[in-house]
Amino acid sequence: MLRLQKYLAAAGVASRRRAEELIVAGRVRVGGRTVRELGTSVEDDAQVEVDGRVVRPAAVHTYVVLHKPVGVMTTMRDPEGRRTVADVVRRAGVTARVVPVGRLDYDTSGVLLLTDDGETANVLTHPRFGVEKMYRATVRGRLAPEAIEAIMRGVRLDEGRAAPAQLRVVAVRRDVSLVDITIHEGRNRQVRRMFEVVDHPVVALARLRFGPIALGELAPGAVRPATAREVTALHRIITDAKTEADA
């Protein structure tokens, strides 16, 4: 049994404070009855509706965040015996049967979410929902305005034009530029190929953010549990995706 506002937060509807506002506004029904009292207890099998839509808390799942180092495969096993993200998270003490959400190339580092929540993994990697991914790229040369404009407009790759990207030059050091680039697609080696098109090959690449999950100060090879705020944000993405699918 959960308090109603906690139930709504666990269902990914809103933060607990926002859930309280929804309750007071009369937008929440339990068992067909509008409930405005904060702190109302809800049975696990109760039917809870927000604006006429049934909501339920997500099952208890594991969400872990890894700073994938260069030289680690984003797979659970590798036939060639190379080190995998499964090796890293198991060594860190993760016992749940988590799998990586999406992938990072062997020579790319950065934030990687792993979970045993299949629904969340499917939505986060589905191109329809365009989850943001931000990278810090070190590229050769000084980026000319034309190159920046081309990437922000969307360069043409072998399989078709890439969607427009957000780009910011962070620094220029000797013969390389540090660039933050945000994309909404997940094509194979996409960032590297985009910079190749404008003749600025990538020297090093790290993913700083995947949706609501930020790398922060997590050290290479380190693992941490996703925070409650991050999990709530993930659940909200799922809720929005379901709403869009039903529209």
Tell me how far CA of residue 195 lies from CA of 62, 82, 190, in angstroms: 35, 28, 9
Closest to 55 measured CA to CA, from 236, 233, 230, 212: 236
Q: One-letter amino acid identity for 100?
A: P
Cα 196 to Cα 239: distance, rounded to the nearest angstrom: 37
Percentage helix, strand, coil for the chain under 3-state DSSP, each rounded to 5: 30, 30, 40
* List 105, 175, 180, 199, catalytic entry: 105
Report residue 35 CA to chain centroid gap. Answer: 34
Q: Are 101 and 125 in contact (CB under 8 A)?
A: yes
**Is 44 annotated as catalytic?**
no
DSSP E strands, 87-230? 99-100, 109-115, 133-140, 156-157, 160-161, 166-173, 176-183, 202-210, 213-214, 223-225
Q: Largest Cα–Cα distance in the chain? A: 67
Active site residues per annotation: 105
